[in-house]
Structures are given as C-alpha cells and as structure tokens.
Chain A
Amino acid sequence: MQLNFLTAHKLKKMLEKREVCASDIAASIQESCEKLQPKINAYINFDKSILQKQAEEIECYIAAGGKLHDFTAIPVAVKDNICTHGIKTTCASKILADYVPVYDATVIKKLQEHKYVLAGKANMDEFAMGSSNENSAFGPVKNPLDLQMVPGGSSGGPAAAVCAGMAICALGSDTGGSIRQPASLCGIVGLKPTYGLVSRYGLISFASSLDQVGPITRDVTDSANLLSAISGWDQCDSTSINTGKVSYKDFLVDDIKGLNIGVPKQLMAEGVDSQVADSVNNALEMAQHLGANIEQISLPSLEYALSVFYVIAPSEASSNLSKFDGVRYGYRNMQASTLHQMYRQTRAQGFGPEVKRRIMIGTYCLSSGYYDAYYEKAQRVRTLIINDFKKAFEKYDVLISPTSPTTAFKIGEKTGDPLSMYLSDICTIPVNLAGLPAISIPCGLSSENLPIGLQIIAGTLREDLIFKTAYSLEKAIGFNKFPLHLYE
C-alpha cells in the first residue's frame, strides 16, 4: 500500500520503528497532490515547498530526540475556513481571496504542538454554505471515487483529500452536516464533536451556535486520536466546555454487547434512497449479531429540524458575515465613491449566490416584525428537538441513521434547486441543533459502487459511546475503498 493511503496511527508505528521518515510521507502526499489536484481540486492552496520545509524541520526535531506524538509528521488537510497564521485563508470566497490571517486558530496551535504537517488549505463551499462543494469561488471539488460526482459539502475538499490520498487526515467544520455528509459520500470517517468540545477560536464563523470543528479520517482510530489532539477548553472561546484531558483512544473497544440502539423513524423516512436504507439496515443486523438491542423510535420534532435550521443558521450568518465589508481586509471595490457604495459593491461582487441567499434569508428572519414569527419560534422548536433527543437518550445509548439520504449525486444535478440540495442534510442537521456528537462511518456500496454512510449519534459529551459503537461496526463491516484507479 502507498504511504499516502495509510492511517496516521499506522504511520506513527512506522515512524517509531524508523521504517519511514517525515520526508517520505510528505513526498508521497506531494506526489499524489501534484497528480490529482488538477483532477479533483481538493485544495485551494497547496504549496509543495512549504510541505517539504515542514517535513525537513520535523526530521530535525525527530533526529534531536523529539517526542513522537500521534500526528508528528502527519500531513493534515485543513479546511480553508480555519485560520492559519501567514497562510491564506479564503473561506472559498472571492471576498477573502487574498486574506492572510495574523494568528493561528486554536486547533492549529494544538496540532503544531504535535509537530503535524499542514498539507494544504482544502477547498469547501463558500463560507461552509453548501452540500456539494459546488459553491466555491475556486471551482468545484470532484468525488475521487467517481469524478462525475460531487464529494459532498461543505467540507468537500478535506473529505476528497483524505479519500484520494492527498492528505492522511483532515480538519473540517460541521454546521449542519458539513463533515459527516462529505465523509459519507467519499467513503471515509467524519466526526462532529459535542458543541463546545473543540474550540471555535480561529474558525471563521458561519452559524456560531451550530459550528464545530472535527476530524475527517480514514478510520475510527484516527478520528479518536485527532479528536484527542484538537479538543479541550479554550479561554478564547466562551462556548467551550472544560472536560479535562480525555484520551478518546481509550474508548476504542470492540464490544457492543447489550448496547441499546434506537433508530429514529424520522431519519429513515421517505426520501431515503432504498439502497441507503438497505445498507444501514444490514449494519444494524450486524450490530444485533454482536449483541446490541435495536429498536425503532420516534422523535416527532425532528420533522421540523430542516425548517428550524434554515431560520437559525442564516440568521446568525447574516450577522457573522457583515464584517466582510471591504473596510479592513479582504476584497474591496475600488470604484465606489461613497462608503455605502463601497459596502454594496464589495459585497455584491465578493459573495457568491448561495451566501447572498442565506444573508437575505437571515436578515429577513431577524427583522423587526418577523423576529418573533421566525427566529424566536425557531429557537422554541429547537428546544423541542433538544428535549426529544434528551428523552431518547434516557433509554438508548446511541441512535443510528443514514448520514445522507442518498449517495453522491452528479455535479450540477441540484445546483438549480436549493431546496433539494438542503434536503441532503436532513439526517445530520438535527444533531447540530441539539449540539450532540455524531460520526459517519462507511457501511457499504451502492450498485453504482458509491459509498453509503451510517450515522451514530450520542448524548452530550458521550463521544465514548460513539467511538465504541463506530469501532465495533467498523470491524464488523470491514469497509475498504481506495480510489486506486486514479493512480493508474
């Protein structure tokens, strides 16, 4: 197997045994990126000289007896809405096309402590708004498993990079499914941690009450290790939770005997492709064989999750994105002769259509006279959703559903119909509204040879149950899909 298709925990073992060195790994990633970037467009900013320089520094570090952490010398793709000091961070938007942050996000600082390697800044939907990675000012990302297909979104770049061996693992962000859905469509593992478990400081906000940074990896073990590396209380983020130091690797136990699994019927409803439903049901049967108890349950308020999300997320976004005005940084229209002209033209030219659509929706929802009917009401329904989940977790350890109702769809297929695009996040959105942790792991292939993902949801801060379940199912399912054809 090529180095670029190995997991971080496998590479760590090889580094320990001196079977590989940092430069070997970097070279392997560099080679695949040079070959595949033109085809897949997983990165907005990939600089091989930076990659090599980092690898050389780490060689010196290791040679000097530096400790090997879980991600030492591991090339990680970072979604381009996570700030990297001195390296362009664009949010896949024209308005930030040349923006260079003056500080590192907390998650980046934490990976730097591991002596990680920044593989590059990964493509995404503009400001993380989208489910297909077609809303990027830097062009769409292709699904490495089928170049006609979307990789999912908004973390399409990070997911495609890991899938295609252009990075060992990646950091994405998930506001309504943006880590899990692309992981599902690319046949890899994506985790959205409990809201507040990972610092948002340095993540360019889309919807502050929903955004969460999380790992996109080749397997569940890397997911647990990457979460251990990036999580923890941060004084710079008032919404961050102090859990103390947790080693999530400890929860990787192959044993789900007696585990109570609930299957919310609202997430297996019509609109879920029959192949997807079959594949998830197969996995549930396997779980039963392993000793888990499976029951169908009902969370009635989930029916409103999509509507609630498309009020709350755009409302917050309309305010979060108002700072992009051409005054201090980013793109500015230079023809404008008054302040208001500058605002209007900068934003008209700087933002893409989906971002504008959501700013309009959000501005409307927060306007006086509409606030109570939209934002306020959505918040009340959000509480109902939280309560439905709470009640479910009194009885069940985890809930399982499909991650996405369909497998990867064709590029261009849904761009003209925002509503059908929004529906592809129907299974993931409720989790963000309730601030819960959830993982997507691959559970099978469709007849078109496209991967199908399964979502495991747990209660607040019950990442332990997620990892235990995901690890056990991963072993049972034995999914392995590499886009090796791309290298032929």
Chain B
Amino acid sequence: MNKYMNNNTGEMAKYEAVIGLETHVELSTNTKMFCGCALSFGAEPNTRTCPVCLGLPGTLPVINSKAVQFAIKTALALNCSINKSSIFHRKNYFYADMPKNYQISQYNRPLASNGFLDVDMGSYVRRVGITRVHMEEDTGKLIHTGSSGRISESDASIVDYNRAGTPLIEIVTEPDIRTPAEAKEYLIALRNIILYLDVSDCSMEQGSLRCDANISLKPAGAKSMGTKTEIKNLNSFRFIQRGLEYEYKRQAGLLEEGKKVLQQTRHYDHLTDTTSALRLKEEAHDYRYFPDPDLVPLIMDKDAVQDIKREIPELPGEKIKRYLEVFGLPDETARLIASDKDTAQYFDRCANILGPGKLKAAANWITGDFAAYLNKESLKIKQSGISAESLCSLIEMIEGGRISSKIAKSVFEEMAQSKKEPQDIIMEHNLEQVSDEGELSKIIDEVIAANDEVVQQVKDGKDKAIGFLIGQVMAKTKGKANPALVNGIMSKKLKK
C-alpha cells in the first residue's frame, strides 16, 4: 500500500484509480472452436491439429455449437443480455502463432453485452459492469530455442499449433473497478462462477484464464478520465493486484511531477514487481476488422437461450445467501464453503443427510479439521476418499453421544488414512464411549479412593481440582468415558 491509495482506512486518496479488466477464458469443450480437433493441454506439439486449425489453403471454419452454449451460459451468469444476432469478424495481423494470420473473433456485434458482477469486498459491494462477452479462437504457441526461452537470446522459434483454434471467451468490464484489491476480488469471483458453470478449468497456471488490466488515474472526485495504460502478463491473482498497485504508484508519481502518462501497453515482471513499456498504443496494429465471409451470423433462438438458462446451477452468491438465511451459518463459514464448487456440493449433500439440526456440525468439520487435513495433504475435497455419507455418520455418532469429539478426531484421521467407514473403525478399536453409569461409578470410586489429597481440596471448595480427578477417569478409560456423565457422577459423589 502506498501513500496515494485509498487503503480502506477512511483516509481520502489524492488520486482515484479507474480500472477495467479483459479476461480470456479457454472453454473446456471436447473439440476446438471451428474444427473437430480434440483440445489438449501438454500433448506432443502439433499432434492436435487438422487442415482447418492449421489454416491450410481451401479450408473453412464451422462454429462449435457447444462452445456457443458455454459462452451463453457464462454470459447469462454474468447477467448479460444475449444478442439476437451476433457475427464473427476477422482480426487481421501477422504473427507466426496464427495459422491464418487473422484471428476469428467478434467485434461490433458480440454474443452478449450489458451485464454485471457484484464483487463482495467485505465492508462493501462493488458492482462491476460487464461491457461484453464475446467468442474467439486461441492462437498457437511460439517456443524460442535456447535455454532462456526469450526471443532476444534465441536464434530460432518453433511453433506448436495444438492450442490454435481452442475456443475462448473474452469478458470485458466497464471501467468500474476502483482499487487493485477490487480487481483481484473481481477475478476471484469471476473464476468461481465459471468453475460453478463447469465451462472451463480456469487454470491461470496453464493459461486457461488470462487477464489484462487497463488503469488510469484521475484526481479524486473528478469526472474526466486520465490516460490509461494496459498491463499484460498478470497471470496470478497476486500479480494482478501487485501489477496494478505498481502501476498506480508509477502513474501517481508522474502526475505529481506534472508529467504526462503515455498511453502504453506494459508488461508486468513478477520478479522485479514492476511494469515496463511494451509499445506505444498509438503505434498499435490496425487490425482491419471485417465480417468473416466464411461464416454466417449466429442467430440466437429464444427457447435455446432459455434451455441454457435452466442449466445454470445455483451460483456462489445465491449459495452464500441460502447458507446465511436458511441454514444460519456464520458469515465466514458460508463464504468459505461457497468459495469452492466441490466443497459447496459436498456440504449441500451433508446438509441434506443431516437435516437442519446437525448441518452446522458438518460446516464446522468441512471448514475445520477436514479443511486442515486437505490442506496438509494438498488434496481437493473430491480426492479425499471420504464421502459425504461417511462424514455424516461420523457426525451422527458424535451428536448421538456414541463417541466423544476427541475420539472423533482420531477416527477422522483414520478414515482419511484407511478410507474405512467410521463405524468399522470404532468397532475395530473399541472406541465407543462408555456411558454405563454402573461401570463409570466403579472407576470413579477407584479414583476417589486413590486421591485423598485432591478429594480433600475439592471438598475445601477448590472446584478446579475436580478436573484432575475427571482426567484420571478419562485416562483409566482411555478417553472413552462420557465426560458429561463422569462429571455428574463425580460431583454427586464428592458432595455427599
């Protein structure tokens, strides 16, 4: 955080940031955008190609209808209106990773427009307008020979067209974002929604979620916009925030010195945590957009859009609302569970099995011991091997008094290790709680007889000493004694 920025401490910043994001998402369809090639990450170079995605002479594109459905689903989840007719344009520029030297994209008639995403910042909600959602094809990849992988130190480049033609959607926001932290939260929220929709794996590492940011500064409260720069290579949530923070500082510094901000594309370097100019935007390509004559307009059937709308699952925002209002979960727990689709599904299954009385216990397990275990083992909830049914039977045993919560922790650990059912673990190790009053009474009598001194202390009014006696009972029963019962019987006996 730097001196110019509004850091949520109530201090007014001198400059207000105006930030807009462009996010590219690779769709996880079976095949590419305009041909039948399989999508694949990490396949042998140039093995997932055909005459169409290689742009061989004479080939023609055909729109992948599944990709269109995925894009519409995403646009609807972002509250966009779907345009009745949209068209594909050609974006013309020469680069060796582009088989045709033009990219099929959408221009002035995109698939969808005019949506929004509410970003929860804790103390306030930022509504970020979605200008448009459009479809396009991805490019191939250039690999520069030589050990550094940098083009300037390489004497040749090799091309892999496996990625060429992968369906992409581009999601463009209005310049509604005001802080780098909001930008980061927007992207986290967007990613979560897309994961809920199951239309992309949204892996920033593998490049299936990529984000460019535009930022300009204006004096706080001013209406006119400043000159913007575009930052590229922001390939993690952290880098987005840090890149924008650096750029904020840099632009504010220039303005303070009375200098101009140049309209530029800048590259973020996470090693130095700085941005540097790529090229002046004025010199940017003239893409010579024009409607692709090889394709016909996409006409959206109302019923088809309705069908897609029905397929949209409950999204994170709605889930949180339900957890808070219907389930009465604490705020933090509700958000934590909803922040991962699989966790939320797991919890919903547990809630369904356990019913309203016990679902909070499930929430506590899922965000507590279970989460800690997954974290330690670097596992996803799906990979844990513990079914919602198993976890629920463990919870039922605790709630029914069959095992103590302390024992439950070790039972859970064994469940995780051996994938056995809790019932079997308890039988195997004879862990069931001892709630037989006669049996407990006998043990308590033994403990009282063996600890005269402590018993005297209790009788003298030193209530805390009773804990030691209970501890002795627990030790004798190896933790299986029902603590509440032991406490009751012990108190009764000592008061005599």
Contact = CB atoms under 8 A, between A and B. Distances in A.
Given A103-B51, A238-B295, A343-B94, A204 B63 contact: no
Interface stretch (A5-13, A20-28, A138-146, A319-327): A319-327
A325 B288 contact: no
Interface residues of A, number: 45
Contacts of A89: 57-58
B390 to A, nearest CB: 49
A322 B101 CA distance: 6
A237 B58 CA distance: 10
A367 B286 contact: yes
B416 interface: no
B400 to A, nearest CB: 62
A208 B294 contact: yes
A202 B55 CA distance: 11
Given A238-B296, A319-B290, A322-B101, A327 B96 contact: yes
A325 B58 contact: no
Contacts of A340: 94
Contacts of B99: 323, 328
A328 B290 contact: no
Given A101-B56, A201-B58, A339 B294 contact: no
Interface string B33-73: 00000000000000000010011111111110000000000
Nearest to B142: A339
Given A103-B51, A366-B92, A323 B60 contact: no
Contact of B294 (A238, A328, A375): A238
B466 interface: no
B60 A237 contact: yes
B88 to A, nearest CB: 10
Nearest to A96: B57
B286 A208 contact: no
> Which of B56, B58, B61, B62 counts the most chain A CB atoms within 10 A?
B58
B267 interface: no
Contacts of A82: 58
A350 to B, nearest CB: 13
B327 interface: no
A83 B58 contact: yes
A12 B100 CA distance: 43
Interface in A368-408: 368, 371, 375
A328 B56 CA distance: 9
Contact of A371 (B60, B61, B290): B290
A102 interface: yes
B90 interface: yes
B63 A323 contact: no
A363 interface: yes
Interface in B148-170: 157, 159
B288 A316 contact: no
Given A325-B94, A325-B101, A202 B58 contact: yes
Nearest to A89: B57
A105 interface: yes
Given A323-B101, A327-B96, A101 B57 contact: yes
B58 A209 contact: no
Q: Binding site of B, secondary structure by majority: helix, strand, loop or mixed?
A: loop
Contacts of B58: 81-83, 89, 101, 105, 201-205
B293 interface: yes
Given A366-B288, A368-B288, A319 B51 contact: no
Contacts of B63: 238
Nearest to A347: B94
Given A238-B63, A339-B96, A319 B294 contact: no
Interface in A201-226: 201-205, 207-209
B181 to A, nearest CB: 36
Contacts of B237: none
Contacts of B92: 318-319, 322, 366
B102 interface: yes
Interface in A189-207: 200-205, 207
Contact of A238 (B55, B57, B61, B96): B61
A346 to B, nearest CB: 11
Interface in B246-302: 286, 288-290, 292-296
B293 A316 contact: yes
Interface string B335-347: 0000000000000
A89 to B, nearest CB: 7
A96 to B, nearest CB: 7
Contact of A208 (B100, B157, B288, B293): B293
A208 B57 CA distance: 12
Contacts of B296: 238-239
A204 B99 CA distance: 15
Nearest to B62: A238
B288 A363 contact: yes
Nearest to A91: B57
A235 B61 CA distance: 10
Interface string B223-234: 000000000000
A371 B99 CA distance: 25
Nearest to A201: B60
Contacts of A208: 292-294
Interface string A25-54: 000000000000000000000000000000
A248 interface: no
A253 interface: no
> Which of B62, B286, B289, B293 counts the most chain A CB atoms within 10 A?
B293
A367 B294 CA distance: 20
A482 interface: no
Contacts of B157: 339
B239 to A, nearest CB: 28
Interface in B102-151: 102
Contacts of B159: 327
A433 to B, nearest CB: 13
Contacts of A315: 290
A367 B288 contact: yes
A209 B94 contact: no
Contacts of A204: 57-58
A204 B44 CA distance: 29
Contacts of A83: 57-58
A83 B289 CA distance: 28
A323 B288 contact: no
Contacts of B290: 315-316, 319, 366, 371, 375
B484 to A, nearest CB: 72
A239 B296 CA distance: 7
Nearest to A99: B57
> Which of B96, B159, B289, B295 counts the most chain A CB atoms within 10 A?
B96
Given A235-B62, A238-B294, A366-B288, A329 B90 contact: no
A375 B343 CA distance: 53
Contacts of A200: 60
A368 B290 CA distance: 11
Nearest to A339: B96
A283 B267 CA distance: 71
Contacts of B295: 238-239
A323 B51 contact: no
Interface string B289-331: 1101111100000000000000000000000000000000000
Contacts of A367: 286, 288
A324 B102 CA distance: 12
Nearest to B296: A238
Given A237-B62, A363-B288, 7 more contacts: A83-B57, A201-B59, A202-B58, A238-B60, A323-B101, A328-B54, A366-B289
Q: Which 10 A-B pairs have the closest CB atoms?
A: A322-B101, A208-B293, A209-B293, A366-B288, A204-B57, A202-B58, A83-B58, A204-B58, A323-B100, A368-B286
10 contacts: A81-B58, A102-B56, A201-B59, A204-B57, A237-B60, A322-B92, A322-B94, A363-B288, A366-B92, A368-B288
Interface of A: 81-83, 89, 91, 96, 99, 101-103, 105, 200-205, 207-209, 235-239, 315-316, 318-319, 322-325, 327-329, 339-340, 343, 363, 366-368, 371, 375
